[in-house]
Amino acid sequence: MGRKVAIIGTGQTKHCSSREDVNEMELIYEAATAALKDAEMTIKDIDAVVLANMELFEGRALPDMWCGEGAGGFMKHAFKISTGGTSGTSGAISGYYHVASGLFDKVMVVGFEKHSEGNASSGMALTDPFWDRHIAAAAIGNFALSVSEYMADRGVTEEQSAKVAVKARRNACNNPHAHLQMPDLTVKEVLESPVLAYPIRRLEMCPQSDGACAIIFASEEIAKKRCPRPAWVRAAVTRHDHIYLGEVKKRLTIMRSLREAAKVAYDIVGIKEPLKEFDVAEIYDPLTYAEIAWYEALGFCKDGEGGKLIDDGITLMSGELPVNPSGGVISTNPVGASGTIRVAEGALQIHGRGGKRQVPDVNLVLVTGYGVYCWSDLLILSSRPG
Amino acid sequence: MGRGDRFGMDPLVAIVGASQTKFEPDKSYESIIETVFNVVMEAMADAGVNRDEVDNIVTSSVDLWDGRTASNQMLTEVVGAIMKSESRVAGDGLGAALQGIMAILAGVSKVTLVVSQCRGSMGVQNEISNWVFDPIYQQTLGLDYLSAGALQANYFMSQFGISQIDCAQVVVKNLREAQNNPYAQVKREITVDEVMNSPMWAYPIKEMDIAPISDGACAVILASQEKAKVLSIKPVWILGVGSCLDSHYLGDRDLAGGDALIMASKKAYHMAGITNPLEELDVAEVTAAFSYQELLWTELLGFCKRGEGANMLKTGMTSLGGALPVNPSGGMMAGNPITVAGLTRLVEAVLQVRGEAGQRQVKGVRRALAHGTTGCCGQGQYVMIVGD
Amino acid sequence: MEKKKGQDELLRITIHMKAHYRFPAGSHYERFFKEIKETGRIMGVKCPDCGRVLVPPRPVCGECFSKTEEWVQVGPKGKVIAFTSIYFPFIDGTTGKPRPIPYGAGLIQLDGAFSAINHILEEGDPEKLHIGMRVEAVLKEKREGNIGDILFFRSIEE
């Protein structure tokens, strides 16, 4: 019943720790205008706007009211998706629904976050008031717990984790938008960086960034007319799991929601050997260990071989399946935009607009989104409409 | 717009289940998750589906109103979203309904649960709504929904010569009719004098002109055409939807001009094939957080000419039994659960079409309109037309 | 980040957020905290369908979507299924102040429970912590009826 949908343009701001030169609306405007330029469209072409953001980090309520105009959300349908940590990909999936439904033809999705405004640690602290606030260790503390399980279950090492950090931060150097770019980072440096929450070290964790990312979704007719090589959305699957960390158990080792989402999406597209069939993957990696664990969950390798994948260089730019040519979330993390960036980075690989981070001959891309504790979004993009 | 033209003639999405809580000033006797679980169970029972048959859930709530980050997280278990597709629209419940409708039209879902919840009692409303205004020009002035609403009221009333008494009539009608609504928080016979004598909060808005803040939740279950025909003897079809966002700065908008509502209703009417709403609609449930808004929105929805809203009410046209009853449920004067309001209007519209609205039933309803707003002074507008 | 033309000084507007909330706990949390306060017992609820004992207790088992009504005591001993040591001074959301670092935290599966709970470990040195180790809840002398009534989990020999 649904129509075919493609991404025909993307745009991002330069992500960094603090964009003091712009307010939130202007930040969105930058990304939106970049996407319009990329798609060779004007704002008049856009039928609807979807914003994605975790507004309590900036202390706001309904920021789409104030900032909607920054993305051209004036006198058209505009609303905000705020599905917790997965907001970025959830917003993109909503954009896909908008066009696939037939109600809209050209939809702009903008994920954004301006961590520098407001106090994100307080924002993170504002969890369940009866239970979670007591521990007050934010995402890092929670992840550290899961990492201890994962290391015990699968034997992944600190060195392997550090290699992922090095890959991310070096890949980021090819990405003009990325926040943390460290061309000379070494495994040794990573292992010598301070421990934040055992065993996670500072250089293994994602930053907090200010940034916005815009994507333009279009119907088949428009995509074929306006884009030389559209990135077709072949699957968009969401699965949510438990909300108490203690129920989730084995968040990294198993990550049930991601495994299930992958199974469903792979079935839709007919993927049997993900490592061979995908040309690029943009995985939402809040920290290094998660990336390794989720290689396994996504079926790139058998359980227990995630570490080997990074040791053998399979997921480097030169490897069989480059993972996160953009530098990933580990390099750039404006929370509400991080998921949207994954979708944009996946799409632009198909568009052939990846510049220095372009992987040659990209036809099939895997994109994932993640939110606390165990929420997964997964999209498959292709150069073929299917 | 692709599907717009023939949508109402062959509707592809229906509402097969609907439920609402009683709207109360303070539901602290139970937690939010208990309230939501109960309303979800009722909606599922109403639709005759169990949790396994629901493949997608969309919730509506707002972090700042809930006092926590990613507040939708607390709902996942009780809306049956474990290992399901779930998303949240932060804004009025009708936005979540639109997301659900699109998911079904996109072929991604066959049965979608839409839930909206809000607890007005948990926070201080003028503290919270102040954070909707941009931090650069308007927030630091201390604007909140009430003071901004007062500006809109003043402007609208002076543009069209509408008096405070005209607005008071809205309150009288709604509270009277709310007596027919078992879910209403406030319901009684009152007089215009009582409204006029209530304390002035922000000129020209008086205490009784303000919809009383509530705690509440409601849910609808949407289904694809195929599923709806199997699940329900009387599916209520979505015939048209419209959504539109206006400018943010109060001074940039024509606060009485309502461009966004005109645009949204035009889209919805077009899809539903409606050219004369007054004739072709049988009942309308509109979201009016203040008395003047009911007059303003009914004009902008095209039920009458500009400036004629008050007269239309005076002649009884918008009362139960009139030509086009507006808010036979009592509307928000009967209870204002803030971001839940729009979805509640949809639930009421569904009950009307099904003939299940009890004492507030309008006779022979075939087409109903549900309206919702997000933000201040109706900056964001939603219109949905449903029918048999 | 570069300043734009015309921007000599970057103007920042500071707005302090004062937001007061009263959170309704609901009957399950109320009973949980009441038990801890009055009897020192930690309670969970058992799902009638899957039989799992869930802590914290909640009205619905998310997996089965069934109402939970059977209360069961769990702990006070349990095993650590995940651990960490925090070296970063995060703000404690209940006090507005950071906890003294480093401090240990873990996922503790109390005896009799399916869920693990996220709580503080007395031992803060990761070298002295391992998965599977046995711990016991240490409660405050004067309890108030909130999660802080459990001070931390102490390592025990078993």
- B388 pLDDT exceeds 80? yes
- Out of C88, C117, C131, closest to residue A140 by CB: C88
User: 3-class SS at B125?
Assistant: helix
Q: Kindly report, residue by residue over B51-80, the tens digit of the pLDDT.
A: 999 999 999 999 989 888 888 988 999 999
Are the CB atoms for B136 and C13 separated by under 8 Å? yes
Cβ-proximal residues to A164 (8 Å cutoff; 6+ apart), any chain: A204, A285, A288, A289, A291, A292, A310, A330
- Tokens (6 digits) for A291: 């990336």
A25 in contact with C at a CB cutoff of 8 Å? no
Neighbours of A267 (CB within 10 A): 12
CA distance A256 to chain C (A): 13
The residue-averaged pLDDT of B25-49 equals 95
CA distance C64 to chain B (A): 8
Q: Kindly report, residue by residue over B216-243, the tens digit of the pLDDT.
A: 999 999 999 999 999 988 999 999 999 9
Which of B63, B77, B140 would best serve as a mutation to test chain C binding (most C beta carbons within 10 A)? B77
- Tokens (6 digits) for C117: 């709970």
Band the pLDDT of B1: cuts 50, 70, 90: very low
Per-residue pLDDT at B2: 44
Q: Kindly report, residue by residue over B195-210, the tens digit of the pLDDT.
A: 999 999 999 999 999 9
Band the pLDDT of C16: cuts 50, 70, 90: confident
- Out of C115, C116, C119, closest to residue A135 by CB: C119
Chain A environment of C33 (Cβ under 8 Å): 130
Q: Indicate the range of A23-27, A264-268, A277-281 predicted with least confidence.
A: A23-27
Structural domains present in chain A: 5-120+208-226 (3.40.47.10), 131-207+233-382 (3.40.47.10)
Q: Is the ipTM of this complex over 0.90?
A: yes
Determine what percent of chain A is predicted with pLDDT higher than 90. 81
- Out of C19, C25, C28, closest to residue B127 by CB: C19
Which of A244, A245, A252 would best serve as a mutation to test chain C binding (most C beta carbons within 10 A)? A244
- A122 pLDDT exceeds 90? no
- Tokens (6 digits) for A353: 């607009």
Contact: A125, C10; criterion CB under 8 Å: no
Q: Indicate the range of B115-124, B129-138, B286-295 predicted with least confidence.
A: B129-138
Per-residue pLDDT at C12: 75
Q: What size, in residues, is chain B?
A: 388
Contact: C29, A122; criterion CB under 8 Å: no
Which of A23, A222, A240 would best serve as a mutation to test chain B binding (most B beta carbons within 10 A)? A240
Range list of H helices, chain B: 32-47, 63-66, 93-105, 125-130, 145-160, 164-178, 192-197, 225-231, 259-272, 277-280, 291-300, 309-314, 341-354
Are the CB atoms for B20 and B183 separated by under 8 Å? yes
- Out of A19, A195, A246, closest to residue C87 by CB: A195
The string of DSSP codes covering B298-343 is: HHHTTSS-TT-HHHHHHTTTTSTTSSS-B-TT-GGGG-B-GGGHHH
The residue-averaged pLDDT of B286-311 equals 96
Arithmetic mean of pLDDT over chain A: 92
**How many Å apart are CA A155 and CA A307, to the nearest integer?**
8
Strands B85-89 and B56-60: parallel
CA nearest B143: which of C157, A61, A261, A280? Answer: A61
Rg of chain A over all Cα atoms, to the nearest angstrom:
19
C11 in contact with A at a CB cutoff of 8 Å? no
CA nearest A167: which of A372, A380, A357, A368? Answer: A357
Partnered with residue B114 across adjacent β-strands are: B58, B220
B33 in contact with C at a CB cutoff of 8 Å? yes
**How many Å apart are CA B269 and CA B301, to the nearest integer?**
10
Band the pLDDT of C27: cuts 50, 70, 90: confident
C50 in contact with A at a CB cutoff of 8 Å? no
* Residue with the two structure tokens 């599916």: B235
CA–CA distance from A275 to each of A161, A365, A370, B54, B372 (Å)? 20, 11, 20, 33, 47
Q: Indicate the range of A249-258, B176-185, B263-272 predicted with least confidence.
A: A249-258
- C2 pLDDT exceeds 70? no
B167: Cα separation from own chain's centroid: 19
Are the CB atoms for B335 and B185 separated by under 8 Å? yes
Top-confidence residue, A2 or B220: B220
Per-residue pLDDT at B338: 94
Q: Indicate the range of A358-372, B323-337, B367-381, C82-96 predicted with least confidence.
A: C82-96
CA nearest B294: which of B267, B352, B334? Answer: B334
Contact: B102, A101; criterion CB under 8 Å: yes
The residue-averaged pLDDT of B85-98 equals 96
CA nearest B4: which of B249, B229, B241? Answer: B241
Are the CB atoms for C120 and C101 separated by under 8 Å? no
Q: Kindly report, residue by residue over B143-160, the tens digit of the pLDDT.
A: 999 999 999 999 999 999
The residue-averaged pLDDT of A246-263 equals 89
Per-residue pLDDT at A57: 81
Band the pLDDT of A132: cuts 50, 70, 90: low
Neighbours of A104 (CB within 10 A): 26
Q: Kindly report, residue by residue over B344-376, the tens digit of the pLDDT.
A: 999 999 999 999 999 999 999 999 999 999 999
Q: Indicate the range of A138-142, A319-323, A351-355 predicted with least confidence.
A: A138-142
- A386 pLDDT exceeds 90? no
Instruction: State the SS3 of B126-154.
Output: HHHHHCCCCCCCCHHHCCCHHHHHHHHHH
Q: Kindly report, residue by residue over A298-334, the tens digit of the pLDDT.
A: 999 999 999 999 999 999 999 999 999 999 999 999 9
CA distance A125 to chain C (A): 5
Going A185 to A187 to A189 to A195, the CA torsion angle's sign is positive
Per-residue pLDDT at B6: 64
B131 in contact with A at a CB cutoff of 8 Å? yes
Chain C environment of A145 (Cβ under 8 Å): 82-84, 105-107, 118
Chains linked to A by 3 or more Cβ pairs within 8 Å: B, C
Determine what percent of chain C is predicted with pLDDT higher than 90. 50
The residue-averaged pLDDT of A169-189 equals 96
CA nearest A52: which of A40, A67, A39? Answer: A67
Find the helix or strand (DSSP H, E) in which A181 lies.
Answer: none
Per-residue pLDDT at A115: 84
- Out of C22, C23, C62, closest to residue B77 by CB: C62
**How many Å apart are CA B367 and CA A96, to the nearest integer?**
30
Please tell me what DSSP assigns to residue A268. Answer: H
Band the pLDDT of C56: cuts 50, 70, 90: confident
Find the helix or strand (DSSP H, E) in which A202 lies.
Answer: none
CA nearest C57: which of C38, C74, C40, C81? Answer: C74
The residue-averaged pLDDT of B263-271 equals 96
Where b means 16+ CB within 10 Å and e means fewer, B64-84 reads bbbbbbbbbbbbbbbbbbbbb
Per-residue pLDDT at A293: 96
The residue-averaged pLDDT of A58-63 equals 86
Band the pLDDT of C146: cuts 50, 70, 90: confident
